[in-house]
Amino acid sequence: MLSYLVTGGAGFIGSHIAEALLREGNSVRVLDDLSTGSRDNLAGFDRLPGRVEFLEGDIRVPGDVQRAVAGVDGVFHEAALRSVPRSVDDPLSSNDVNVTGTLQLLIACRDAKVRRVVYASSSSVYGDDPTLPKVEVLRPSPISPYAATKLMGEYYCQIYTRLYGVEGVSLRYFNVFGPRQSPESKYAAVVPLFMAAAMRDEPLEIHGDGLQSRDFTYIDNVVAANLLAMRSPKAAGKVYNVACGARYSVLDVATAIGKGLRRDVRLDHQPARAGDVRDTLADISQARADLGYEPRVAFEDGMRRTCEYFAAHAGGGKRPAR
C-alpha cells in the first residue's frame, strides 16, 4: 500500500483524485481548509478499499503542511484559489495561496524527502497568444493574476526538481468539469453555473457573444492524467497539457445542457470579462508520449454524465461521492 497526500482533497478535482487512489487500495491523506471544499465530497470514502485520513489545515501554515506530508510517497497538489475573475478582484489572496502555499508545500516535501509532487497548473498560463493548438513549448503569456500564480508554481516545481530532488510534474488543466463541481460561488466555473441556472429555469449568463471556445475536459480524464504523472519515469520536472484536444464554444455548452436536462434554456448576454482568453485548444501529444495519457471521456459523454449527476442531486445542496 502506497501513501499519498491530496491537498485540496475535499474540493472538486482533489476529491476525485482521492477517490481513485482509494479504489486502488492506497492510503490517502486529505489536507483541506474547507474554504471552498466540502466534507460532503468525501462521503462514503471510508467504505472504499484504501484508507483515508482527513486533516483540516492551510497550505500556507508550515506546521499544517509538515504534518500532512509526513510519511507520504507522493503529493497531488490541488489546493488553490481558482478563478480568473477572483484573482482580478483580489490578486493578493490568489498570490498568497497559490504561490506562497505552493512554496511552503515544496519546502515541506524537501524536508520530508517526498519523491514527487504532481501540481495542478492551468491553461491560463498561455494567455491570449492566438496560436492553436497550445503546445507546452509556447512562451507563457499570462494576462491575469491567477495565470501568473499558476505559472510561478510551475517554476517552483522545476526549481525543486533541479535543486532539491523533489520531482515536480505540472499539469496544465483545460476547463475541467464534472460531478461535484460547485455552482455556489460567484466565481464558479461555467458548466456548474449553467447547470444550476438551467435547473432553476433562469437564463444562462454568457459573457460576450458565447463563441469563445474552450477545450472542455471531463474530470475522469484529469484524474487519469494525475495518476499517470505520479508514476511515469519520464515526467520529472516537466509540464503537460491535460485536455481532450478538441474545442467547444460556450454556446455549445448551453446547448448540451439543454439537451442533457431536457429543458429549453434561455441566454442572457453580458459584457466580456477582463482577463478572459478568447480561445483555447490543447496539443496533448507530449502527455500521450511520456505519460501514456489518452482522453477516456469525450465532451458529449462527459456533459451527459454531468447533467445526470446534477439532476440526481438537485435541491439537496450536497455533493456526495459517486
Stretches where the chain sits below pLDDT 70 are: 315-322
Q: Residue 315: its pLDDT value, please?
A: 52
Cβ distance 224 to 289 under 8 Å? no
Our CA angle for 109, 121, 59, nearest 5°, is 40
- Which of 4, 146, 160, 293 is flagged as catalytic? 146
Q: How far apart are CA 319 and CA 192, in angstroms?
A: 12
**3-class SS of residue 27:** strand
Q: Residue 320: its pLDDT value, please?
A: 35
Q: Which domain holds residue 58?
A: 3-176+218-243+282-296
**3-class SS of residue 86:** helix
CB 322: neighbour CB atoms within 10 A?
13
Is 271 inside a domain boundary?
A: no
Q: Write down the pTM of the prediction.
A: 0.94
Is 12 inside a domain boundary?
A: yes
Our CA angle for 184, 186, 187, nearest 5°, is 100
Which grid coordinates belong to 189?
466555473
Is 309 inside a domain boundary?
A: no
Is 304 inside a domain boundary?
A: no
Is 200 inside a domain boundary?
A: no
Report the CATH number at residue 102. Answer: 3.40.50.720
Q: How far apart are CA 198 and CA 169, in angstroms?
A: 37
Is 71 inside a domain boundary?
A: yes
Q: How far apart are CA 91 and CA 148, in angstroms?
A: 10
Q: Is 170 exposed, middle or buried (0-12, 13-18, 19+ CB in 10 A)?
A: buried
Which grid coordinates belong to 28?
490517502
Q: How far apart are CA 66 and CA 3, in angstroms?
A: 15
CB 162: neighbour CB atoms within 10 A?
12
Is 273 inside a domain boundary?
A: no
Is 315 inside a domain boundary?
A: no
Residue written as cell 490517502?
28
Cβ distance 106 to 157 under 8 Å? yes
H or E element in which residue 258 lies = helix 250-261
Domain count, the chain: 1
Q: Residue 317: its pLDDT value, please?
A: 38
146 labelled catalytic:
yes
Q: Residue 28: its pLDDT value, please?
A: 98
The DSSP call for residue 34 is -
